[in-house]
Amino acid sequence: DSGVTQTPKHLITATGQRVTLRCSPRSGDLSVYWYQQSLDQGLQFLIQYYNGEERAKGNILERFSAQQFPDLHSELNLSSLELGDSALYFCASSVAVGLAGEEQYFGPGTRLTVT
């Protein structure tokens, strides 16, 4: 158990809908990262938040947004969902800003299925 929790574990929704994925980092970790894992794209970095502020951005679509709250938990919002958004979404956390050598601890993931 990494100490990172994600809810829900599974989510099934229809195209065009909006969903929110939630992540609680390890106790004491200030950074939260979001990743998308699909069969054809592998593990893709979406976005990082550090202590409530956006720190780095990856291949995140404009339909997706995230935020980190004062208690350091994070939410990933996915809107206008398309079939291609079906994937595993992982949250990871690290103790500080995420410099080289700083381990990221991954949560168990949320499996999103868009029908």
Partner 1 sequence: GENVEQHPSTLSVQEGDSAVIKCTYSDSASNYFPWYKQELGKGPQLIIDIRSNVGEKKDQRIAVTLNKTAKHFSLHITETQPEDSAVYFCAARYDKVIFGPGTSLSVIP
Interface residues with partner 1 (CB under 8 A) are 2, 4, 33, 42-45, 48, 56, 58, 90, 92, 100-101, 103-109
Residue number, 61 or 79, with CB nearest to partner 1:
61
Q: Phi/psi of residue 102, each to 5°?
A: -90, 115
Rg over CA atoms, the chain: 13
Q: How far apart are CB 36 and partner 1 at their closest, in Å?
A: 11
Residue number, 68 or 109, with CB nearest to partner 1:
109
Q: How far apart are CB 81 and partner 1 at their closest, in Å?
A: 22
